[in-house]
């Protein structure tokens, strides 16, 4: 019952995400970490050609708790060559945008 309630509470925020990308092996994703704490995913178009590719279209802000958590989830999937799923408000990457959700759901 509690799990169902928690899932229901999470659905409204996920419903705002327009585009979902399932990356079967996170190790194929290239990324750049900048001195100001942003992590840019650079070649999502190689996973799905309908997504924007290089260079600063999709990012995580590691100066925030949420961004650090997203990056940790991404790195865990990357090092273990596991699947990762990302949500963005638009797969065109315009304007440059923070990832909404990162995980495996």
Q: Tokens for 16, please give them.
A: 């705002």
pLDDT exceeds 50 at position 6: no
> Up-side HSE of residue 10: CA atoms within 13 Å toward CB?
9
pLDDT digits (tens, 9 = 90+) for 42-79: 999 999 999 998 889 999 999 999 999 999 999 999 99
Report CA torsion sign: 95, 98, 103, 105: negative
The architecture of the domain spanning 17-103 is Beta Barrel (2.40)
How far apart (Å, rounded) are the C-alpha atoms in residues 98 and 88? 7
Map out the domains of the chain as residue ranges.
17-103
How far apart (Å, rounded) are the C-alpha atoms in residues 42 and 58? 8
Q: What is the mean pLDDT of the chain?
A: 87
Hey, which residues does 19 pair with through a beta bridge?
A: 88
pLDDT value for 1:
40
pLDDT value for 18:
82
pLDDT exceeds 70 at position 4: no
The answer, as to whether pTM is greater than 0.85, is no
pLDDT value for 13:
46
């Amino acid at each position: 019952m509690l799990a169902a309630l928690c899932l229901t509470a999470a659905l409204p925020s996920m419903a705002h995400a327009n585009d979902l990308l399932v990356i079967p092996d996170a190790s194929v994703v290239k990324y750049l970490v900048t001195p100001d704490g942003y992590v840019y995913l650079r070649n999502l178009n190689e996973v799905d050609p309908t997504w924007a590719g290089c260079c600063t279209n999709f990012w995580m802000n590691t100066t925030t708790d949420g961004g650090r958590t997203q990056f940790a989830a991404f790195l865990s999937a990357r090092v273990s060559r596991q699947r990762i799923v990302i949500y963005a408000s638009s797969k065109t990457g315009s304007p440059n945008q923070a990832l909404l959700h990162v995980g495996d759901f």
